[in-house]
A = this chain, B = another copy of it.
Amino acid sequence: MKRLLRQIDSEISALGGKRSRSRASIIEVFFRSGRHLTVDELTSEVRARNRDIGAATVYRTLKLLSRLGYAKELDFGEGARRYESSLTAHHDHLVCTGCGNVSEFEEPRIERLQDEVAKKHGFVPTMHRLAIYGTCPRCLSPQPRETAE
């Protein structure tokens, strides 16, 4: 984590950038969360630690991480995009339309078939997006609700 932060900082300064407290805070919270966050969600979590960090800076920092290859932009068609760490291996997503939770899977056979399909169409693939939408296990067997009474 500290190591990651230092590495990112050095890449930034190699590109003529300077380090900043706000950005460090945003980056740390982002990687610590390990989730698939919207900018709004991340902004809230960051502000819980440092009240006066602006949303624009969160947007800028995620764009920066994405340019440097440390984050990936995701779009599940929710109206706001999400970001995830790109430090993990490639994977695709299961999106629960009930609770909004996003989980991950790897399926090499699907990856292979995609290449095959592309080749068959004379197409040179550079990336793909695959998301499966549905209901997650937790939403399928609803817990006995904690009633407030």
Contact = CB atoms under 8 A, between A and B. Distances in A.
A140 B118 contact: no
Interface residues of A, number: 33
Contact of A121 (B75, B77, B94, B114): B94
Interface stretch (A2-10, A11-19, A28-36, A127-135): A127-135
Contacts of A142: none
A73 to B, nearest CB: 8
B126 A135 contact: yes
Contacts of A77: 75, 129
A129 B129 contact: yes
A94 to B, nearest CB: 5
B130 A134 contact: no
A123 B113 contact: no
A140 B126 CA distance: 13
A90 interface: no
Interface in A108-149: 109-110, 113-114, 117-118, 120-137, 140
Given A94-B118, A105-B117, A125 B136 contact: no
